[in-house]
Amino acid sequence: VIEGNAGNEIELIILRGGDRILLSATPRPEEVTYPDGTTRTVGKLGFRFEPDLEFRNLALGEAVVAGWDEMVNQSTLIVRTVRGMFSGRVSSREVGGPILIGQIAGEAARLGFDQFLFFMGIISINLAVLNLLPIPVLDGGQFLFLVAEGVLRRPLSLKLRERLTAVGLVMIVTLMGLAFWNDISRILTRFLGG
């Protein structure tokens, strides 16, 4: 909304302490160069996200604990995002695929090797958490089959496993298609100026 309204007044709703505040703002036009080399004039406001980085030397034990805490935080964020997608609180347009991942990895690499490694770590955590979803073609789904067989004290029928696996495969292929569609839509929107 902000980028697409350079020079036009827009209304923003800010949530602060549970209260909704209505503000008016006019994004200033700014020329932006994208990772693919294209440039476009977009609207910008007088604030932006800047990571609040703090570099500290940690002992090995402290570093392991800090790494564990960050992994737990990222895993929790991923689970909340997936839950938000299913509940409708997170838009399906937020799903990104390999093209977006490559673009963000390039941006992270430009910020420095440490940021690139951090981003790659987030991608690894993301894949691990998603792999544990209870979808039959994923490890989480296979675990669910094992739990069901343990509760029933007999193997699930091959026909049932095949049907559930087919449903899981359709879910994964649909999600991958959505991710690719979103990636391509972002690129086309950028090129066509929409």
What pLDDT shows up at residue 36? 58
| Domain definitions of the chain by residue range | 3-44, 60-192
141, with CB counted inside 10 A (0-12, 13-18, 19+), is buried
* Residue in 119, 76, 77 with CA at minimum distance from that of residue 100: 119
* Residue in 94, 80, 88 with CA at minimum distance from that of residue 129: 80
Average pLDDT of the segment spanning 25-52: 71
Give per-residue pLDDT as tens, 137-168.
999 999 999 999 999 999 999 999 999 999 99
What pLDDT shows up at residue 35? 56
What pLDDT shows up at residue 165? 94
The pTM score is 0.63
